[in-house]
Amino acid sequence: MTSKELNRIRIVLAEVNKRNKWLADTLGKNQATVSQWCNNARQPSVETLFDIARVLDVNVRSLLVSTKNDE
């Protein structure tokens, strides 16, 4: 893991068969912003992470890279 890999949004989107554009449209966010989140160039706020988890119907923890090796 590089120091910039903080979220798993791109991975979770693939797991639930959704695209960045769908997430941007659903959240009312700019597609470029969502792309930056997916590439870990920028991070969403904690509140936005909870919104993402809600619309993807996943636990918010699944959107974050674990800080422990055993998880």
Please, where are the H alpha helices in the chain? 9-15, 20-27, 31-38, 46-56
Architecture of domain 9-63: Orthogonal Bundle (1.10)
Residues 7-33, mean pLDDT to the nearest whole number: 97
Task: Provide the β-strand partners of residue 64.
Answer: 7
The answer to whether residue 6 scores a pLDDT higher than 70 is yes
Q: What 3-state class would DSSP assign to 59?
A: coil
- Going by pLDDT thresholds of 50, 70 and 90, the confidence category of residue 69 is confident
Counting beta carbons within 10 angstroms of the beta carbon of residue 10, is it exposed (0 to 12), middle (13 to 18) or buried (19 or more)?
middle
Taking the domains of the chain in order of start, what are their residue ranges?
Answer: 9-63
Q: What is the pLDDT of residues 39-65, one digit of tens each?
A: 999 999 999 999 999 999 999 999 999
The answer to whether residue 17 scores a pLDDT higher than 60 is yes
The answer to whether residue 71 scores a pLDDT higher than 60 is no
Tell me 38's DSSP state.
H
